Structure 1
Amino acid sequence: MNLYSFARGLVGVIIKPLYRIEVLGKENIPKEGGVLICSNHIDNLDPPVVGVTSPRPIYFMAKAELFKAPILGPILPKINAFPVKRGVNDREALRTALKVLKDGNVLGIFPEGTRSKDGKLGKGLSGVGFFALRTECTVVPCAIIGPYKMFGKLKVVYGKPVQMDTFREEKASADIVTDKIMDSIREILEKYK
């Protein structure tokens, strides 16, 4: 058993009952091929929550500062995380993310780029549209519906894939695609809140 599987199992055993997580729409995540899971971002626990509720292992970008932390830093690469420098055009992170998708793996991304301070869905950054357009991946919107409250109830909903064919054929801009993905997340939030 690798560290990712062990950590996923351990974290799942702790947080699933703690937040009484209900998962809907797992069948919308294809069993194989590159998948881009795009989720809203309301708490620091969002990456592990998406990680333990997805039926497939997920790679996540994490802010570069975390990789310098004494205990966490050396563990992150072993649990499918890779660094991204925030506030700059980080070409290395872009290349890594594209490779994850082109190799047929799952990339989890929070298009807002940072946690929402008021719990409302913010504007998505164009990077998510860039990844969706530059690969043949399936784009799956995801909504985490909180709040995070011990023994409360947290819902994670994976929506139907966003149809990308027309956007790719028309060579749509990354911003337009990002807006479409954010609209899909918003629809899930409104439907299941």
Structure 2
Amino acid sequence: MSSNPRPSWFYVLVGGLSWPVLRLVYRLRASGADNLPPAGGYVLAANHWSNFDPWPLGVPLFPGRYLRFMAKAELFWFPLSVIIRAGGGFRVNRGMRDQEAIDTAIRLCEEGNVVVMFPEGTRRRKGLRKKYEATWHTGAARIALEAGVPLVPAAVAGTQRLSRLAQLKVAYGPPIDLTDLAGQEPHDAAPAATDRLRAAITALEQSLGGGPETS
């Protein structure tokens, strides 16, 4: 098996059509792609503005890497479910610990896929900063630790303003250093790994000129 799985024909079609739209209409600017592992699976964890966040995250890596992502169970109705699966999505039940979705993500990483995760757990409210920021979910870190793959931070900006044709920006950071956590169980190591991930994503957001309060 190739270390970098080939995407579905639908993923290639959407990627090919999306590339000029993001590059020309939304003036997509991506930085830090050289930080990404060139081969093998990893978890790509980013901030979360919109359901469209995987779009600018994936286009700079197209066609070399196939991004897989969790999609909420409510979206899996025919024929939308067929489109989501063809586009790299797999089902997750939100509001509970969905072990099946976690196991699927681990398997995909082990098979060499890039699995996109949003540790914030939910999209931010447009234009508003939440009074109390939710505790970040540890799932992304746990999946990376259990699969034995890199945990890579990223940040995206502009997807909350697509209707206004805002410029899209993406920044990829180097993998989080987890070597000192290697001897711990993934469940025990995940909180510390998530703290490091949050700091890295926040720094990448700031490098894009934004942050949680961006409107």
Q: Give yes or no for contact 1:42–1:119 (8 Å, CA) kept in 2.
A: no
> Gaps spanning 5+ residues in structure 2: where?
1-7, 210-215
Q: Give yes or no for contact 1:123–1:182 (8 Å, CA) kept in 2.
A: no
1:98 aligns with 2:106: yes
Residue 170 of structure 1: CA displacement? 4.4
TM-score (norm 2): 0.81
Residue 44 of structure 2 is matched in structure 1 by: 37
**Distance in 1 separating the partners of 2:170 and 2:156:** 5
Residue 178 of structure 1 is matched in structure 2 by: 194
For residue 12 of structure 2, what is the amino acid of its counterpart?
S
Q: 2:166 aligns with which of 147, 152, 155?
A: 152
**Distance in 1 separating the partners of 2:79 and 2:129:** 30
Residue 66 of structure 2 is matched in structure 1 by: 57
Q: Give yes or no for contact 2:107–2:147 (8 Å, CA) kept in 1.
A: no
> Gaps spanning 5+ residues in structure 1: where?
none
For residue 65 of structure 1, what is the amino acid of its counterpart?
E
For residue 169 of structure 2, what is the amino acid of its counterpart?
K
Q: 1:119 to 1:102 in 2, by over 3 A?
A: farther
**Distance in 1 separating the partners of 2:9 and 2:136:** 33
Residue 126 of structure 1: CA displacement? 1.3
RMSD over equivalenced CA pairs, Å: 2.0
Matches within 5 A, 1:63-82: 63-68=72-77, 70-82=78-90
Residue 54 of structure 1: CA displacement? 2.5
For residue 24 of structure 2, what is the amino acid of its counterpart?
P
**CA deviation map 1:137-174 (0-9, x unaligned):** 11110011235354432210001111121122344531
Q: Give yes or no for contact 1:60–1:82 (8 Å, CA) kept in 2.
A: yes
In percent, how many aligned pairs have the same letter? 33
**Distance in 1 separating the partners of 2:161 and 2:59:** 15
1:110 aligns with 2:122: no
